[in-house]
Amino acid sequence: MRGSRAGSSDAERLYEQAIRSASANGFIHNEALANELASRFYAARGFEKIARVYLQDARYGYLRWGADGKVRQLDRLHPGLAAPEAQGPTANIGSSVQQLGCSDRRQKPLRPCPARSNYPS
């Protein structure tokens, strides 16, 4: 088992190296493909969250490259990839200040939200 972990570690490093190199040199298609392959690598090992991030990056790369057919294929195989539902710890990132309840219309500009705690003092 020890040897397989070392091989996985090498693969992780090499996928990242390929992605960075393709990005730095403007090879959008290679960057997208490396992200897709990294996604498969992590999915095969049960790391679904990590795999999804790589697949989202792959989709974005294919979109930038103009590979619309590939984007449609990914969207068909992975529903929700294009517009993941807001959930979890980042669910409020796209929310406006008013939606978060931090605005006070009497003051200009908007003031920061006061610190709130549900814990007893």
| pTM > 0.75 | no
CA–CA distance from 81 to each of 59, 63, 70, 90 (Å)? 8, 13, 13, 16
> What is the number of alpha carbons within 13 Å of residue 75 lying toward its C-beta?
11
Alpha helices in the chain (DSSP H): 2-24, 28-44, 48-65, 68-77, 97-100
The answer, yes or no, to whether residue 14 has pLDDT greater than 90, is yes
- Cα 18 to the center of its chain, rounded Å: 18
pLDDT higher at 36 or 114: 36
The answer, yes or no, to whether residue 36 has pLDDT greater than 60, is yes
